[in-house]
Structure 1
């Protein structure tokens, strides 16, 4: 049962992995501080906020939003931390309210990963305050508890941080508000928790992770930007430097003359200058209610957002989360039934008199019957949820825009070069073994924050046979071409440039769609000399932009400087790479995304074994994808091993060449 707390009350926490859900009537900033036993916070690195969303054991949202989900793992919190304070603040920028007394009372709930509420607190009585400590998770005699605090500060975050002895409190508060102001144009609410009784209509809610990988983080995963991540390396979201460690980069001219400021972590804001900054409107009217006792009929775009594209993005996120959680519930129920059966059988067999004879057999049969009953009930609940998700997928998939759609979607036949960069891009599909008929689009946010690694190593194919190394390399490059073509197609004319390094010239056939349609900036680079030339040009580009940003003179870039996003496809790495080229590639992977240079590596890691651990940071910095189905991605909630299937062009289809031909024609007519 949920404990509804009042100010000052506390409640024990039954588990270490939790979510803190925030619901407010206006966009708010969510954050947290990690304090010692006296509540003192020793440094800005122990403050989670939109500019630095991840600290040990905690992750918060990257934007201001009306609803938030904060991910908490108390087992991962450092031993020196005794208090985790959850903060809410009103953004100082924009036209919103300046005090909590002018808005509806925020509601905060602590829930398990299955969505079950542990404790909740409504922050009433606030007036002139613009920042508040909502909850406090604290250690007491080796266990964790939650306390409702509700302590407000009229002086905002600066006063709140000063009260907690955070060094350079005012500067940190200013950095947070600057990060929030830069993120307003890309603030994305995520769908809410699945309602009971099969009702899956989604009111407003906000993501705790910015798939970013993240999800597939993941959930970083990826998938919808929270994106999923490689389950073997399990890298978390990339965390920018703490405020005060280095000067914030200055803006440099973005595509089409956009001079939007670079984010404090070095990422350039490529958002469209006309994107609305007002709060998103409510979702469109839902379908007529279903008959009593029947699940709600699914509707495409039933999440919140500024546009249909954004609502569909949030809906896909909700489907991903719903499938993750309902599968987790099923697996947990099966594990419970199995452990209960084993316990009952152990009790029966512990008495020698029950080991033989009819009494023992009856007890064993009863234990097995109870096990089957529990599993059957769990399977019925799973099948009900999966059927509803499958029905939703059937209406959502045809409604997706080109950036989110599969290559076999008819939307590509009506393709036109866009005028604005979309929010996200589809890189494939995800599914779980218990719900194989439900495919969830894997969406990653744009512009890319990580490079991509198309793993061409030997892997199991869909039919269970082993694909040979030559075939895997061919499939890997074809997957890379499909991803690159999609990136070219979803960017406005002239705002995305692709380079290719193919040292041995082995990818001629797979690269033909890019070469023959004329969308490449230059022909594929061949040999060691061609490799060195492309790497030198892109490295110089990164250096120039970084120097301009650090000097605060973005207008000092050379005349005619190409401000478009750059993608480098490298085939059969490390063939044709010497030590200098390898170091340049690592530099591009680390520093390039912040200034619009992205890497797509087609490689077999075993081929790079001679470099030893030197390349380990390179693999960790890239999002690993495969050209065939593989279960290497994990979600950020319960860590399911999701099966990833790449987004490939159907055999015999000419849609990719038709789309690239339009991209090339628009590029030739582009005045830039």
Structure 2
């Protein structure tokens, strides 16, 4: 199971022989620093870089590239090495992008030797930085963990090495720069972007069978998510970044690729955009794609095929929107260059010649933009048609609350592969909603943000109403989790120190699905946190010792646990805050999950000490908000929270069924 990390989050590593894979879309140099327990690098001989690519246990590439594989044997590093930090740096003085904010967000995956992903991290939020500490692998109680760092440096590699305490950082950075320059001189050109023949959106024939159809998804992500993040991002490996649209030739003709020479034949040196003969007649329009079919993706079961199809739709929407935005940016930038050229010539600044040149430049821009919009509308129409077919076919775990499938709801006997957390859309077609699915069991906790900052919709909502909407959203998420687990496999606890959420929690308390009444007061907070902390400690010790569940105390609830925390930090002392952070970091790996209903500003009295807590949780909002970014092209996806239809009794009916199934299971 892959862990999709956010900045500050950590994850245990199952072994010491690993690979770190880096995908950046543009050439980057990769290195690593080996530091002691205090985080200080004692010398330049503890830095692995293209000029000195190997040390015991660590090996990196000798040149900058868009894809890297770092070989790690953490069992072979020196005994005094406690941290291995993986560094990324953009080459300097090569004419490439000088900052990470100008390129797609780098993606890092820690994998086993067989390629199985252990943890992934998308480095979003970078701007002027040209060097960054991506992840670090560190010792913890004779075991190794990986932490997503994402610390960037606008001062480049020199500033990064200085911050790591490396002696002679400037000289070492210059040596790395020289080695990278030599490597780039030896490197080959970047391969061309993939053609439309491989695009899922442009299939020319209907699938032969749902199980063999295309549409395999990434990752993400995500909105990443927005990635997710992730954002919004599934637990599979992300696809290659969206290839930018190839700009047309200066005369407005589309790009043409030279035909490959036959083996052993002569090489064609003709410029691919220079016409030497009349253009060929227009080709016939492409065949229309087949009618969309629910389950039109790979997978062993219909649920898996629908899951893959939904993420394929998400990827398609991200790609086609990225292509449209890239084409519009190119058209506008070309028009600006042409207008600048007209204005730079004094003879054409005034008079009819200048006006004609400016009008011609604007007309070309409008023509290219119009063609890009036509292609986008065509792809969006196909995705809309596919959504109209897929949405009615979704199972309970993937369905909206207003879906008819809930009327025939029965408590399942096995856990589904994913859960719907809301919807995602982009401004180019707001009515086209893609289900936001997250894998089960949960790999991260949830933070339902009840604060009024960071969203225009939140700022326009009354503070009291926003808090109630946040609680209603949390209850809807908890009810859906209870509904998709078999009886006895999921337990929900509630901490409501001041009792301010009693009305919102009424559906949970009245139905009897809670393990106990909501905990109130400082004593109730301490009791619940102590019980869950003990559970995490005992299960961790059993796993490390290789023991099964039989070794656990008989009174320990081995079901998945969800703790809903309201009104934080009211009723929380320093010890309770520490336990909460511990549950957020260590709980998901052993089946204890956190759902915070809070505004970050309410906890500002604790200062930055709680920043890792917020970053370790997946932030969702009670009102629409565009805070999620996907891991491919960094689109800002608008998240739509789940909504129970006005006046509907679906939530109460579902919880009543869950409670009845739990009573039958206990008998």
TM-score (norm 2): 0.65
Q: 1:401 to 1:79 in 2, by over 3 A?
A: closer
Q: 1:60 to 1:582 in 2, by over 3 A?
A: closer
Q: Deviations over 1:435-479 (max 9, x none)?
A: 212100000010001000000011588879711211111110100
SS at match of 1:573: coil
Q: 1:463 to 1:618 in 2, by over 3 A?
A: closer
Q: Is the 1:216–1:225 contact (alpha carbons within 8 Å) kept by the matching residues of 2?
A: no
Q: Alignment partner for residue 57 of structure 2, among 32, 43, 66?
A: 43
Q: How does 1:306-325 map to 2 (within 5 A)?
A: 306-325=300-319
Q: 1:460 to 1:40 in 2, by over 3 A?
A: closer
Q: 1:14 to 1:635 in 2, by over 3 A?
A: closer
Q: 1:671 to 1:38 in 2, by over 3 A?
A: same
Matched with 1:421 is 415
**2-side partners of 1:222 and 1:388: how far apart?**
22
Deviation at 1:552, TM superposition (A): 2.7
Q: Is the 2:457–2:625 contact (alpha carbons within 8 Å) kept by the matching residues of 1?
A: no
Q: Alignment partner for residue 547 of structure 2, among 534, 544, 553?
A: 553
SS at match of 2:487: coil
Q: Is the 1:420–1:492 contact (alpha carbons within 8 Å) kept by the matching residues of 2?
A: yes
Matched with 1:338 is 332
Q: 1:425 to 1:14 in 2, by over 3 A?
A: closer
Q: Within the alignment, does 1:665 sit opposite 2:660 as a pair?
A: yes
**1-side partners of 2:495 and 2:353: how far apart?**
74
Q: Is the 2:420–2:437 contact (alpha carbons within 8 Å) kept by the matching residues of 1?
A: yes
Q: Is the 2:226–2:635 contact (alpha carbons within 8 Å) kept by the matching residues of 1?
A: no
Matched with 1:304 is 298
Deviation at 1:561, TM superposition (A): 2.3
**1-side partners of 2:71 and 2:52: how far apart?**
21
Deviation at 1:146, TM superposition (A): 7.5
Q: Is the 1:459–1:466 contact (alpha carbons within 8 Å) kept by the matching residues of 2?
A: no
SS at match of 1:433: coil
SS at match of 1:349: helix
Deviation at 1:66, TM superposition (A): 12
Q: 1:78 to 1:138 in 2, by over 3 A?
A: farther
Q: Alignment partner for residue 483 of structure 2, among 475, 484, 489?
A: 489
Q: Is the 1:216–1:227 contact (alpha carbons within 8 Å) kept by the matching residues of 2?
A: no
Deviation at 1:295, TM superposition (A): 2.6
Question: Size of the alignment, in residue pairs?
Answer: 481
Q: Tell me which of the two structures has the higher relative contact order, counting C-alpha pairs closer than 8 angstroms and 6 or more residues apart.
A: 2
Matched with 2:649 is 654
Q: Deviations over 1:353-393 (max 9, x none)?
A: 21211111111111111111010000000000000000000
**2-side partners of 1:362 and 1:346: how far apart?**
14
**2-side partners of 1:499 and 1:454: how far apart?**
16
Matched with 2:264 is none
Q: Deviations over 1:2-47 (max 9, x none)?
A: xxxxxxxxxxx996179xxxxxxxxxxxxxxx98568757536976
SS at match of 2:609: helix
Q: Within the alignment, does 1:140 sit opposite 2:183 as a pair?
A: yes
Which sections of structure 1, spanning at least 5 residues, go unmatched? 1-12, 19-33, 82-136, 149-191, 229-290
Q: Within the alignment, does 1:218 sit opposite 2:218 as a pair?
A: no
Q: How does 1:575-654 map to 2 (within 5 A)?
A: 575-654=570-649
Q: How does 1:235-250 map to 2 (within 5 A)?
A: none
Matched with 1:516 is 510
Q: Is the 1:213–1:226 contact (alpha carbons within 8 Å) kept by the matching residues of 2?
A: no
**1-side partners of 2:515 and 2:476: how far apart?**
17
Q: How does 1:430-509 map to 2 (within 5 A)?
A: 430-458=424-452, 466-509=460-503
Q: Within the alignment, does 1:405 sit opposite 2:399 as a pair?
A: yes
**1-side partners of 2:474 and 2:372: how far apart?**
40
SS at match of 1:435: coil
Q: Is the 2:202–2:289 contact (alpha carbons within 8 Å) kept by the matching residues of 1?
A: no
**1-side partners of 2:332 and 2:190: how far apart?**
36
Q: 1:200 to 1:335 in 2, by over 3 A?
A: farther
SS at match of 1:489: helix
SS at match of 2:610: helix
Q: Alignment partner for residue 529 of structure 2, among 527, 535, 544?
A: 535
Q: Deviations over 1:244-289 (max 9, x none)?
A: xxxxxxxxxxxxxxxxxxxxxxxxxxxxxxxxxxxxxxxxxxxxxx
TM-score (norm 1): 0.65
Deviation at 1:489, TM superposition (A): 0.3
**1-side partners of 2:578 and 2:659: how far apart?**
33
Q: Alignment partner for residue 26 of structure 2, among 3, 8, 16?
A: 16
Q: Alignment partner for residue 519 of structure 2, among 510, 521, 525?
A: 525
**1-side partners of 2:385 and 2:520: how far apart?**
49
Q: Is the 1:452–1:623 contact (alpha carbons within 8 Å) kept by the matching residues of 2?
A: yes
**1-side partners of 2:662 and 2:547: how far apart?**
29
Q: Is the 1:456–1:626 contact (alpha carbons within 8 Å) kept by the matching residues of 2?
A: yes
**2-side partners of 1:51 and 1:441: how far apart?**
40
Matched with 1:387 is 381
SS at match of 1:222: coil
Instruction: Return 453-462 or 293-302, whichever deviates more.
Output: 453-462
SS at match of 1:643: strand
Which sections of structure 2, spanning at least 5 residues, go unmatched? 1-22, 29-47, 61-68, 75-84, 89-105, 135-179, 192-197, 239-284
Q: 1:294 to 1:664 in 2, by over 3 A?
A: same
SS at match of 1:524: coil
Q: Deviations over 1:224-258 (max 9, x none)?
A: 44699xxxxxxxxxxxxxxxxxxxxxxxxxxxxxx
Q: 1:66 to 1:467 in 2, by over 3 A?
A: closer
Deviation at 1:61, TM superposition (A): 8.9
Matched with 1:274 is none
Matched with 2:202 is 196
